[in-house]
Amino acid sequence: MKTQARYPNAKQFRKELESGASPSHLYLFLGEEEGEKDKVIQLVTDSLLRGLEDRRGVVASFHAEDPGEIARAAEFAMSPSLFSSSRVCILRDAEKTPGGKASTDLLRDIVENIAGGTTLIITTGENRPPAIISGDLLEHFRVVQFWRLFEQDIHNYVAHSVKKMGMAIDDEAVDRLLDLTGRDIKKIDEALDMIRFSGETDTVTAGVVKDFVHDVKRVTIFEYLDHFFSGNPGAIEELKKLLNAGTPDLLVLSMIMREAESMERYLHLTSGGAPRDEALKGAGVNPRAADHFLRRLARYDAAALRRLFGEIARADRALKGAGRSKQLLTHPLFELTGYAVGRLPGPSG
């Protein structure tokens, strides 16, 4: 029986980064702990792009299950940068890559012809390298293992995170939170952010978790918001799942409004000369989510945001009005989402 190779774990790799170890330009992140992966990706990105305030066009993320996304990742990784000496290309979920020689050959082409100054980070949810990265190709990568945390580690993580947010949480609430998030660190962070941003409580109870989090093991409001503001049509299907799971429509609308207001504040601050980090802080953007926030913001200027606010107000009136249709296709949030992703014209007003 072939023994599975042992790779450095996330904790060991973090120590290497913090000690100033020489970075690689090809990384492969293995394992189920997606939240920890995202944090380490952020650390790698920050170390490579230190001092760069505007990262639009410099950091790009792609999903391997879509052949078109792989081709766009290849184009990005192999094209020289016109704006920065360093760039980061992230290709997620490599285990979902359509199989066959074509995918392996394309990845080999990327590895052999990656542009100078570009770092490629590939992730997989499995604990072993994906089929498209094997043999001599695997030898090019710095491989890091992201193991699932033990139960007590996750409990301690939640307690520590909540304390840092200036709140308190009881054991029953922790258990409920872990059940609803599937013990995924990324989804736990998103759920706690949702509760904190609501501003309605300083003590997190099981009831609060039930009211704000719902079952996010399959789809989260934050995933929906990311696609909503990025113009990804997948937001429509995610909205359907959220509503079918019982997520309150006014909660979804309030999260859209909150994100749009953050964008408006950021644009206002930067137009007044505020530097990037100061504007992000003033807009209430979590540092971990800064790159995602700026990527979404790239679709909007002040005029586009004003039009979006008009559509949000229209949806709000419809949701609070009497006698509205219960059909999904005529649901105000469906119409608003269609407008945002460019599927529906959505008249302003």
Q: What is the per-residue pLDDT for 120?
A: 96
Beta strands in the chain (DSSP E): 26-31, 59-63, 87-92, 118-124, 142-146, 168-169, 203-204
Cα separation values, 273 from 57, 58, 205, 263, 302, Å: 21, 22, 42, 16, 16
Of the candidate ranges 18-22, 193-197, 253-257, the one whose mean pLDDT is the lowest? 193-197
Domains and their CATH numbers in the chain: 10-146 (3.40.50.300), 151-212 (1.10.8.60), 221-341 (1.20.272.10)
Residue 292 vs residue 64, higher pLDDT:
64
Cα separation values, 47 from 14, 80, 285, Å: 12, 20, 20
Q: Give the confidence band of 344 by pLDDT, cuts at 50, 70, 90.
A: very low
Q: What are phi and psi of 37, to 5 degrees?
A: -55, -45
Cα separation values, 126 from 43, 64, 140, 143, Å: 22, 14, 19, 13
Length of the chain counted residue by residue: 349
Residue 151 vs residue 39, higher pLDDT:
39
- Mean pLDDT, residues 116-127: 93
Q: Is the pTM here over 0.75, yes or no?
A: no
Q: What is the per-residue pLDDT for 263?
A: 92
Residue 216 has pLDDT above 70, yes or no: no
- Mean pLDDT, residues 307-321: 88
**Residue whose tokens read 């994906």:** 130
Q: What are 255's two structure tokens?
A: 């999260």
Q: What is the per-residue pLDDT for 349?
A: 35
Q: What is the per-residue pLDDT for 20?
A: 76
Q: What angle (nearest 5°) sits at the alpha carbon of residue 145, between those of residues 190 and 107?
A: 95
Count the neighbouring beta carbons within 10 Å of the beta carbon of residue 261. Answer: 15
Q: How far apart are the first and last CA of the chain?
A: 67
Amino acid making up residue 16: E
pLDDT > 70: what percent of the chain? Answer: 88
Query: Which DSSP category does 63 fall into?
Result: E
- Mean pLDDT, residues 67-79: 88
Q: What is the per-residue pLDDT for 329?
A: 52
Q: How large is the angle between the packed helices 249-271 and 332-341, nearest 10 degrees? A: 40
Q: What is the per-residue pLDDT for 145?
A: 92
Residue 67 has pLDDT above 80, yes or no: no
Q: What is the per-residue pLDDT for 17?
A: 82
- Mean pLDDT, residues 314-338: 74
Mean confidence (pLDDT) of the chain: 82
Quick: pLDDT tens for 163-172.
Answer: 888 888 888 8
Of the candidate ranges 37-51, 59-73, 147-161, 198-212, the one whose mean pLDDT is the lowest? 198-212
Residue 334 has pLDDT above 60, yes or no: yes
Q: How far apart are CA 146 and CA 27, in angstroms?
A: 13
Q: Give the confidence band of 43 by pLDDT, cuts at 50, 70, 90.
A: confident
Residue 189 vs residue 309, higher pLDDT:
309
Cα separation values, 343 from 249, 314, 334, Å: 20, 17, 10
Residue 318 has pLDDT above 70, yes or no: yes
pLDDT > 90: what percent of the chain? Answer: 17
